[in-house]
Amino acid sequence: MNIRLNCDMGESFGIWKMGLDEQIMPYIDMANLACGFHASDAVTMSKSVALAKKYNVTIGAHPAYQDLVGFGRRTILCSLEEIKSIILYQLGALNAFCKANSTVISYVKPHGALYNDMMKDENIFKAILSAISSFDKNIKLMILSSPKNESYKHIAMLYGITLLYEVFADRNYNDDGTLVSRMREDAVIHDELEVAQRITTLKEKGFIQSVNGNRLFLEVDSLCVHGDNEKALEFIKLLRKALI
């Protein structure tokens, strides 16, 4: 199983700093770059694209609801036309910096509440697919891997879009394959060795355990790691070794 590491990056804004991008970028395969709605700004996007290119890291757009204060983790009620437009707006912004650096956007991974809403609401999923398809059908869409992968794949094919299936290294899962809500204390796994063991099991046996101990067999193209805590660099190095 060939699993690539992806990480949310480029999430600083003005004088506010988030993450350890320069230290982490050499250890990942895919960088989900914020596009200005939940985090980032023009200078940060420019620097993030250049940094990803320097380390030959695949660039993905990380669009979100327009929610700087809530870091894109709050649902904003939007029409489907608005969903499509905010995706196109953010793709256009990041694409400008990619063109300036002679590189490209390879995939889209929605951020936070928009990601969760996409997985719960088929109409939002379709609106995002429609936006990507109208922009560039070569761009893939990253979604949460679940028992419903085939259904999502069938819908995506109607728009000419290929899907990437993502598993979260440090998040607990419900028995149905959805993520445990961040409102719960056990939503995030903080023990690095426990997370590394989960990933080793996923790579070798194809499953992870839900929060209740049930086996979830998940297709996985990419593994999400979070780079916004003080132990992020050590954590990502550990996962890098687990995937070798």
Interval 94-147: pLDDT, tens: 999 999 999 999 999 999 999 999 999 999 999 999 999 999 999 999 999 998
In this prediction, residue 240 carries a pLDDT of 86
Give the gyration radius of the chain's Cα atoms: 17
Question: 16-75: per-residue pLDDT in tens?
Answer: 999 899 999 999 999 999 999 999 999 999 999 999 999 999 999 999 999 999 999 999
What pLDDT score does 242 carry?
81
Q: What is the mean pLDDT of residues 72-96?
A: 97
How far, in whole angstroms, is CA 148 from its chain's centroid?
18
Check residue 226 and give its pLDDT.
74
Mean pLDDT calculated for residue range 161-175? 93
C-alpha distances in Å from residue 177, one per residue of 19, 67, 149, 171? 28, 27, 11, 11
| CB within 8 Å of 10: residues ≥ 6 apart | 21, 31, 33, 34, 39, 40, 44, 45, 47, 48, 62
42-52 tens-digit pLDDT = 999 999 999 99
Contact 170, 225 (CB under 8 A): yes
- The share of the chain scoring above pLDDT 70, in percent, equals 98
pLDDT computed for residue 75 by the predictor: 96
Closest CA to 49 of 115, 104, 6, 7: 104
Cβ 16 vs Cβ 233: under 8 Å: no
Task: Tell me the pLDDT band of 229, cut-offs 50, 70 and 90.
Answer: low
The average pLDDT across 78-89 equals: 98
